[in-house]
Chain A
Amino acid sequence: MDALKSGSRLEKVLKAGHFAFTGECGPPKGANVSHLKEKLAHLKGVVDAVNITDNQTAVVRMSSLAASAIMVGENLEPNYQLVCRDRNRLAIMSDILGAYSLGIRNILCLSGDHQKFGNHPEAKNVYDIDSMQLIALVKKMRDEGVFPNGEEIDEPPRLFIGAACNPFADPFEYRVYRLANKIKAGADFIQTQCIYNMDKFREFMKMAVDMGLCEKCYILAGVTPMKSVRMAQYMAAQVPGMDVPEALINRLKAAGKGNYAKEGIKIALEQIEEFKEMEGVAGVHLMAIEWEHRVPEIAEQANVLPRPEV
């Protein structure tokens, strides 16, 4: 990791050895730019980059490309999410080039939730390539300056390549190898699924460290504060690949009505404290879903402010 690959703020923060802090924002279900800007305003100066989700859970929203570009205009750094569900390799490559030309410098390569979960389950899915191949594609375009067919790219996209990792999906024993594969494919940084089962995550990170993965790639631990007992129960039961221990749900319940959100944030803060010390963890990715306005106080209490100058 010598010269900068993209020159993004996130890359510089990580490269300088700072503990990174990234946020997340879902584009509007419409073309409401002012609402998007409002949500983004809460995150300004509070996080190093903001993930802009790409039709998350297969629900149609403003494109992540457009929302990311709007964000660039607001002087905030996007982490542009791109899923393989909705586009073939032609569309993917042209979106990558378009993203770079609009000033986007970070990309998160995902397969995407199946359209069955979304609001247009009748849709045809694409999956021309998968997330592993998407990572390799961006790397090839960036580092070799060519398309997969060997044709040269007139000004290659210099992007900082991100990938997702869910240590809580099955089979657990394989997850660290899949992570290794993503790093081999070209991932510069990883953002994990929301972590609630800390024991399992510790075990996972130990394996990742032992395999030397954390020297090749920056791993950002995913944190989503629980807003309510209902949210915790929903995630535990309804979201495939999400591991919410019973003890956490009980702890929220014990906090009593009216205090769930406060307790949820407290739990998140404890996690962040532990991640700061955990070997191999290079930062935190805070996915405060529809809770952008609470991010500044969480960042404040987590002692990650001010964000470093890079």
Chain B
Amino acid sequence: MIIADRKPLEEILEMIQGSKKILILGCKGCVTVCNVGGVKEVEVLAATLKIARKKEQNDLEIHQKTIERQCDPEYIDQVKDVVGQYDAVLSMACGVGPQFLSEAYPEQKFFPAVNTEFMGGAVTHGIWEERCAGCGTCVIHLFDGMCPIARCSKSLLHGPCGGSAAGKCEIDPDVVCIWDMIVKKKMAQGRLDDLLEIRPFKDWRTARDGGPRKSIREELT
């Protein structure tokens, strides 16, 4: 799923500085699962903003709503009766949310209340890790279920580099060297030969480098 993190309070306060009445709009998709933009987090942000503005003696009227998804026109449609009444709408969805909303309601100002970070999963309660870079051409099977594009700091196709030490990446002792894991698994399972070939250059056209992407499924259009 998409992992996000809430923006710092100061940044959000600054965004809504001149506003008297706002809506905080949550999303029941990925950001609910990663505990950053669902019903609960909308409530918490509302309470926090209220207190902060009260301190400034600048009271703020806050409405809250959380919809199924903010990446689907069908659900975006559900807020058509309320948007337009606010000085600002804070979207707690990933970066798709504020954009779909802005496209649907050009007169309303939408602000992102979270920073969208990566595609990954929870490795343990409260800790999420990146697993996919969305390069558009999956190669995970070549590396025994581990993606060096997303997980090697240099996206090397022939690692590990000379900075790999004790299973950790050169950039940070808290970062796993994924190439160390790939090599160890291949060697332990007798598939060292897989690593002894020179792989062709990656075609980055399917990644973001090829320009904004679009997926068309004829049977559904």
Residues of A within 8 A of B (CB): 84-85, 89, 111-114, 116-117, 125, 127-133, 136, 148, 164-166, 169-171, 173-174, 177-178, 180-181, 184-185, 193, 240-241
Question: How many contacts between A and B, using CB within 8 angstroms?
Answer: 101
Residues of chain A within 8 A (CB-CB) of B164 are 169-171, 240-241
A136 contacts B187, C-beta separation under 8 Å? no
A180 contacts B196, C-beta separation under 8 Å? yes
Residues of chain A within 8 A (CB-CB) of B168 are 240
- Known contacts being A89-B201, A148-B201, A164-B162, is A174 close to B157, with CB within 8 Å? no
Is B140 interfacial (CB 8 A cutoff)?
no
A181 contacts B195, C-beta separation under 8 Å? yes
B162 contacts A166, C-beta separation under 8 Å? yes
Residues of chain A within 8 A (CB-CB) of B195 are 174, 177, 181
Residues of chain B within 8 A (CB-CB) of A166 are 162-163
Residues of chain B within 8 A (CB-CB) of A173 are 187
Which of chain A's residues has its CB closest to B157's CB?
A130
* Contacts A/B (CB < 8 Å), 25 sampled: A84-B154, A114-B154, A114-B163, A117-B170, A125-B154, A128-B201, A129-B201, A130-B158, A132-B198, A132-B199, A133-B198, A136-B198, A166-B162, A169-B162, A170-B164, A170-B165, A171-B164, A171-B180, A174-B187, A178-B158, A178-B160, A181-B158, A181-B198, A240-B164, A241-B162
B198 contacts A174, C-beta separation under 8 Å? no
Complex Cα–Cα for A122 and B161 (A): 21
Q: In the complex, which of the residues A130, A131, A169, A174 contacts B163, with contact meaning CB atoms closer than 8 Å? A: A169
Among B191-217, those with CB < 8 Å from A are 192, 195-196, 198-199, 201-202, 204
Chain B: residues with Cβ within 8 Å of the partner, total of 32
Question: Residues 139-174 of chain B: 1 if any A CB is under 8 Å from the residue's CB, otherwise 0?
Answer: 000000000000001111111111111111011100
Shortest Cβ gap from B164 to chain A (Å): 5
Residues of chain B within 8 A (CB-CB) of A193 are 162
- Known contacts being A114-B154, A114-B170, A174-B187, is A169 close to B198, with CB within 8 Å? no
Task: Kindly list 9 other residue pairs between chains A and B, CB separation below 8 angstroms, not including A129-B201, A177-B195.
Answer: A85-B154, A114-B171, A128-B204, A130-B158, A166-B163, A169-B165, A170-B166, A174-B195, A181-B158
Complex Cα–Cα for A89 and B172 (A): 27
Complex Cα–Cα for A129 and B184 (A): 23
Which 9 A/B pairs are nearest by Cβ-Cβ distance? Answer: A166-B162, A132-B158, A240-B170, A240-B163, A130-B156, A241-B163, A169-B162, A116-B171, A174-B183
Residues of chain B within 8 A (CB-CB) of A241 are 161-165, 170
- Known contacts being A129-B201, A133-B199, is A170 close to B167, with CB within 8 Å? yes
Which of chain B's residues has its CB closest to A181's CB?
B196
Residues of chain B within 8 A (CB-CB) of A85 are 154
Shortest Cβ gap from A239 to chain B (Å): 9
Residues of chain A within 8 A (CB-CB) of B187 are 171, 173-174
Residues of chain A within 8 A (CB-CB) of B165 are 169-170, 240-241
A130 contacts B154, C-beta separation under 8 Å? yes
A133 contacts B157, C-beta separation under 8 Å? yes
Residues of chain B within 8 A (CB-CB) of A170 are 160, 164-167, 177, 180
Complex Cα–Cα for A169 and B183 (A): 13
Among B163, B165, B171, B180, which residue has the most Cβ atoms of chain A within 10 A?
A: B163
Q: In the complex, which of the residues B161, B192, B199 contacts A111, with contact meaning CB atoms closer than 8 Å? A: B161
Complex Cα–Cα for A91 and B165 (A): 31
Complex Cα–Cα for A193 and B170 (A): 15
Residues of chain B within 8 A (CB-CB) of A136 are 198
Shortest Cβ gap from A38 to chain B (Å): 30
Among A112, A117, A174, A241, which residue has the most Cβ atoms of chain B within 10 A?
A: A174
Shortest Cβ gap from A162 to chain B (Å): 14
Residues of chain A within 8 A (CB-CB) of B204 are 128
A133 contacts B154, C-beta separation under 8 Å? no
Residues of chain B within 8 A (CB-CB) of A114 are 153-154, 163, 170-171
Residues of chain B within 8 A (CB-CB) of A181 are 158, 195-196, 198
A171 contacts B183, C-beta separation under 8 Å? yes
Among A112, A129, A181, A240, which residue has the most Cβ atoms of chain B within 10 A?
A: A240
